[in-house]
Structure 1
Amino acid sequence: MYALKKKQHGVFVGVDNRGKTPSVNNTPEIDRHFIRKHIKSFLTVLSHYTRKDSNRQYLSANLSLKKMFYLYEELCMKKRKKLCKINIYREIFCTEYNLALHRPKKAQCSICTVYYEKKQQGELDDDDEEQFVRHQRNKESSRGQKSKDKQRAKTDKSFVVSTFNLEAVLPNSCSMVGDLYSKRCMSTYNLSFYSLGDGKGTCYLWDEVNGGRGSNEIGSCILMHINSVAEKNSHLKEITFYSDTCGGQNRNQYVASAMLYAFNQHKSIEIINHKFFERGHSEMEADSIHSAVERAKKNTQKLSLTVGYSCFNGQKEEPLRSNSNEFSGLL
């Protein structure tokens, strides 16, 4: 009847009043604000090993949405606030915050973890603050140096910069047949180099029969890699390596001796640098090679060094170059 009364010359000229009455099912803003305040009360930690820039933060691994809601219920009873249902709590958590309830897949820095735990418990002192600030400063410094070297390597043919890292042990046998697995299982090792200038990767592979995972094997691979780079690049004058600070593999006298030997062998090379990332923040481009290998290995029924590791090729935009190593003539 209202529409008919407001009709002139066949056209409705009244005011549409639909949707102006507040819904009785809407959660009041004051209650939603209390939920937001409760979510913000939980300590969050940034992911250290996310390769791409991300604003996602992570809650403690012992939390879950149900546990958070249970704590919210207790707080409402204590503060005598209106209790909202869990679906409202979940909606606000999922739509208004970029939070994750699981622990990041990448490893966390022990120094940062201890710092955040002490901060949450209110046990921080001046020494902890000073150590954390120095730790963060060193992290940013190493990242900045790598970025500068990367940009230089893209334009300067006489300069090569690479990151290298040893992958987790790869078992040769991928078969789920018990007898076959136990009789043919043999550990294989992969040291990956990633050239920051051209984005190409090189993998040095060997099994436990030909070597272990110590500094001698790492130094031998570095020596072979320098020889390979020098052979292909006639303009090479300076080469820089980035790695983590593992003392048993990278940061020791044997690796330094291998680099010194390569320096004396190649007269065209004027400088060989070995720079280290800050402890706990050694994420690097070489890790992307390991991720590609792990993904390919899931679809591989047989993994053997003699067949050339087919899962190492074709997984990146630029195919990986893999080398099977025997260290008898190098160690």
Structure 2
Amino acid sequence: MRGKHMNQKKVDDNIKNGIRRHIDSIPRIESHYLRQQTSREFIYSGKSLSELFRDYKRDCDMKQVPSDQCDLCNSYRNALGDHKEQLAEKYDLHQKEKELSRLEKQMDKEKIKENFIVACYDLQAVLPSPRGDTSIFYYKSKLNSFNFTICEMKSGKVECFFWHEAHGGRGANEIGTCVLKYLQETAESVNTEELEVIFYSDNCCGQQKNRFLFGMYMHAVAKLKIKAITHKFLIRGHTQNEGDNAHSVIEKAVKRYLKSGPIYEPSNYVSIIRSAKKTGGTFFITFRIFLTQFLQVRHIPLTK
């Protein structure tokens, strides 16, 4: 019978709640003549229904979707009917893994001491130059710079490795070189055979989730005063970590700098990063000038 089947299309609750919030934001007035007889409210007469609809569409366009949203979580939230039921089991497992991953990181942070270091590393978004409001910059070829950060949890120490694309890319060689340099400096400063290091990162295969990086870890354990190196990968779509705070501070500093003038070359970014942190000391920057300073990670010997 008409209307009795169970295949009706349903609007997602998030969409409904968004519409309700928009309606609640519309200016309303009480009835001038019948306020004693009714509690109804009326839309102010200065807006027609067409104008209200245009306001709603404009409001939807202004809400930018964060770039780091999880595709599986979004798929589940936007799915309807049978498709949502099919994704339910996978979604529940995904949420459980996310919580376990965060719990694991929290437990590791509680173990931190002088010879037990927990750190996360990640590449910041590409930093192009020249950059500014000058219209001619739009037609200029951009030179992209890269800022690789290693953030030690609890202590908040952040080390930045900065280079541009003329000197290196964003592959295993560049990432492996930066991490190895960090391990060398850490092993030298701690100076104990009992040093253990745990890294957290996202799941980028071209950068750190590959055999070349793990070969570099084996080399570091064999050659340096390091007892063990453990690398743990955060769950896909939920890779937010302490390093994001450093990236956010740097991005805000870049925006402040752009208000006073353009960024012409990569060295401008170095100055910005050095002065970005206003409290707790500055970011330490390693500025790599020559491509030959990046190691061929796949050729690093593994034996002592």
TM-score by length of 2: 0.72
* Runs ≥4 residues deviating over 4 A: 66-69, 178-184
- What does residue 214 of structure 2 align with? 256
Structure 2 matches for 1:316-331, cutoff 5 A?
Answer: 316=277, 317-318=279-280, 319-325=282-288, 326-329=290-293, 330-331=295-296
Residue number among 225, 233, 236 corresponding to 1:279 in the alignment: 236
Aligned twin of 2:274: 313
Counterpart contact for 1:158–1:238, Cα < 8 Å: yes
Match runs of 1:177-326 below 5 Å: 177-179=134-136, 185-235=142-192, 237-266=195-224, 268-300=225-257, 301-302=262-263, 304-306=265-267, 309-316=270-277, 317-318=279-280, 319-325=282-288, 326=290
In structure 2, what is the Cα distance between the partners aligned to 1:59 and 1:204? 44
Partner of 1:128: 87
8 Å CA contact 1:160–1:197 kept in 2: the answer is: no
Task: Give the drift of 1:229.
Answer: 1.4
Between the aligned partners of 2:13 and 2:202, the Cα distance in structure 1 is: 28
Distance 1:145 1:157, change over 3 A: same
Counterpart AA for 1:44: N
The answer on 1:146 being equivalent to 2:105 is yes
- Residues 131, 137 of structure 2: 8 Å contact kept: no
Percent identity between matched residues is 28
Report SS of the residue matched to 1:44: helix
**Matched residues in 1 for 2:20 and 2:74: separation?**
16
Q: Structure 1 residues 233 and 304, CA, compared in 2 at 3 Å: closer, same or farther? A: farther
What residue number does 1:111 align with? 72
Q: Give the structure, 1 or 2, with the largest relative contact order (CA under 8 Å, sep 6 or more).
A: 2
Shift of 1:177: 3.6
Are 2:120 and 2:200, in contact at CA under 8 Å, matched by a contact in 1?
Answer: yes
- Between structure 1 and structure 2, the one with the greater Rg is 1
CA distance in 2, matches of 1:105, 1:123: 24
Shift of 1:63: 9.0
After superposition, the C-alpha distances for 1:128-174 in whole angstroms (9 at most, x for unaligned) are 22211111111111101111111211xx2111111111111101322
Counterpart of 2:178, as a letter, is C
- Which aligned pairs between 1:71-110 and structure 2 lie closer than 5 A? 84-86=41-43, 102-103=63-64, 105=66, 107-110=68-71
Deviations 1:258-289 (A, max 9, x none): 212211111x2111011000010000010111
**What is the CA deviation profile of residues 16-61 of structure 1, one whole-angstrom value per residue up to 9, with x for unaligned ones?**
xxxxxxxxxxxxxxxxxxxxxxxxx86239xxxxxxxxxxxx966x
Does the 8 A contact of 2:196 with 2:226 survive in 1?
yes
CA drift of 1:308 comes to 6.7
Aligned-partner Cα distance in 2 for 1:256–1:140: 26
Q: Is the 8 A contact 1:173 1:181 kept in 2?
A: no
User: SS of 1:193's equivalent?
Assistant: strand
Q: Is the contact between residue 12 and residue 78 of structure 2 (CA under 8 Å) also seen in structure 1?
A: no
CA distance in 2, matches of 1:315, 1:186: 21
Gaps of 5+ in 1: 1-40, 46-57, 70-81, 88-99
Q: CA 1:177–1:123 in 2, change beyond 3 Å: closer, same or farther?
A: closer
TM-aligned CA deviation for residue 86 of structure 1: 4.6
Deviation at 1:103, TM superposition (A): 4.8
| Aligned CA-pair RMSD | 3.1
Per-residue deviation, 1:218: 1.1
Structure 2 gap ranges (5+): 1-10, 27-38, 45-58, 297-304
1:123 CA displacement: 2.8
